[in-house]
Amino acid sequence: MKDICTATLNELKAMLEEGAVTSAEVIRALKSAYQADSQQPLPLQGFIEFFDDAEELAAKADAMRKEGKAANMPLLGLPFAVKDNISMRGRLCTCCSKILEGYVAPYNATVIDRLISAGAIPIGRTNMDEFAMGSSTEYSVYGPSRNPIDRMLTPGGSSGGSAAAVAGFQVPFALGTETGGSVRLPASYCGIYGLKPTYGAISRYGVVAFGSSLDQVGLFARTVDDIGLGLAVTGGRDAHDETSADQCFNSCTKLVPYSDGELKKIRIALPVEFTKTQGLDADVSAVFEKFCAWFSAQGITVEPVSIPVLESAIAMYYVIALSEAASNLARFDGIRYGLRKDTGKGYDELYCATRSEGFGKEVKRRIITGNYVLSHHFSGDCYESALRVRNRMEKEVGEVLGQYDFIFCPTAPTPAFKLGERVDNPMAMYLSDLFTTFVNLAHIPALSVPAGTAQDGRPIGMQIVGAKFSEEKILRLAKTLEAVRV
């Protein structure tokens, strides 16, 4: 029998349906793996909390299966992990920040409701950069997560805890969120799959906002099929989220690789702004070239394409994201919820004392920058200019994807870096997202696929980018690559 901890979501599903294992046994095995790792000198710290009632929920799922109630519950008894900025009723939701210490969510995010309705069991909260601001999971009040490949390396961020838990065989499937690459970057660094769906494909209701026009729930797994199964359950229209889309992703549960004939009809664009950039690691470049050669060998049309607006992506992203973050985080004022530091000197003092003590340095840096961009000094011109350039990006990238089936490029300029290497160098940290932000700005989907390793064994990811709501096409290409192991 397949080892429970290393089994994928679909493999566990088959094992449960065959009666080869019970959900309670699955949860116990994963909990044991988590507890054993927690005793290590350098624990992964993907999870910041493993839920005490997970085994009880598993026992209920087993009882339902025996009673024949599994027909409309495709994930009955299967475990998943949740990033700490997604609300679960009655559970802590701290965004890994001191300012939300002890905060208990009063309702479920829609993505949680959909997974639970499908029978899935939330087994724990995962670590993250505070308020999802970072690329290494080092800006967490709980301390950093570590990369399962090498525990001196970052797992990436901001959803590094979810990626570490999946790659470290403590859970087969996990939720993350990303504003500019926070799912794809950790997936690349940890050698797993990470999907950033089209903006609106998965409801954001119940997800603590960072940059509202960019945020998207994303999915982590170790196989393409597991990503497809998760998307089919979580995606679609939600009355609570006006930005959600009326799309059905059920076809993503039956993915088949492209045939030889279909491959010959595919056209792939390679943005020269990324492939010729300074700072692109030699090992990353070598893996990229290997994939391009394989595509060409299959008869796929592979062409370099210039998209000049991509050179503005990182600057544009930080103007928009930080402006929206400053606005969204204004609600954490010491009055309504979370930390409260009342000096007895009035509201202004309470507000300043609470935020000064509650927020970490990276969040403060981004709030200050965002407020400056939106200040009277700029009269909002900087933000409005960024929005205009963003509209141009959405249009120009959309035009490229009208002529080509996919855009293909590295997920990150380098493999995972060492913990502590960039934590005090904001510019170097921000440039980790150099190749990912354009996807969020253009509201399109992208999947980071494990593509190879550097000479020292660090994972390298490549990303497949498609037009809006082309998730099935992207996953089918990834399934093709997975089947042949390029």
- Report the distance separating Cα 331 and Cα 333, nearest Å: 6
User: What's the pLDDT score for residue 277?
Assistant: 79
Q: For domain 9-253, is the CATH number 3.40.1160.10?
A: no
Residue 182 is a catalytic residue: yes
Name the helix (H) or strand (E) containing 177.
strand 173-178
pLDDT band at 370 (very low <50, low <70, confident <90, very high): very high
* 427-440 tens-digit pLDDT: 899 989 999 999 99
DSSP helix/strand/coil, 409: strand
The number of residues making up the chain comes to 486
pLDDT band at 10 (very low <50, low <70, confident <90, very high): very high
> Higher pLDDT residue, 427 or 301?
301
Please calculate the CA angle 9-11-15 and round it to the nearest 5 degrees: 115
pLDDT band at 1 (very low <50, low <70, confident <90, very high): low
Segments of the chain assigned to CATH 3.90.1300.10: 9-253
Catalytic residue from among 97, 135, 158, 159: 158
* 75-123 tens-digit pLDDT: 999 999 999 999 999 999 999 999 999 999 999 999 999 999 999 999 9
Residues above pLDDT 70, as percent of the chain: 99
* 207-231 tens-digit pLDDT: 999 999 999 999 999 999 999 999 9
Looking at residues 271-295, what average pLDDT do you find? 93
User: pTM here?
Assistant: 0.97
Q: What is the DSSP string of 368-406?
A: HHHHHHTSTTTTTHHHHHHHHHHHHHHHHHHHHHHH-SE
Looking at residues 182-200, what average pLDDT do you find? 98
- Mean pLDDT lowest among 33-42, 168-177, 206-215, 269-278: 269-278
Residue 394 identity? E
User: What's the pLDDT score for residue 485?
Assistant: 80
User: What's the pLDDT score for residue 335?
Assistant: 86
- Report the distance separating Cα 108 and Cα 113, nearest Å: 6
Residue 158 is a catalytic residue: yes
Catalytic residue from among 23, 97, 182, 470: 182
- Report the distance separating Cα 140 and Cα 329, nearest Å: 16
- Report the distance separating Cα 381 and Cα 424, nearest Å: 30
Residue 308 CB coordination number (10 Å): 11
Please calculate the CA angle 450-451-452 and round it to the nearest 5 degrees: 110
- Report the distance separating Cα 309 and Cα 307, nearest Å: 6
Catalytic residue from among 13, 23, 31, 83: 83
Looking at residues 133-162, what average pLDDT do you find? 98
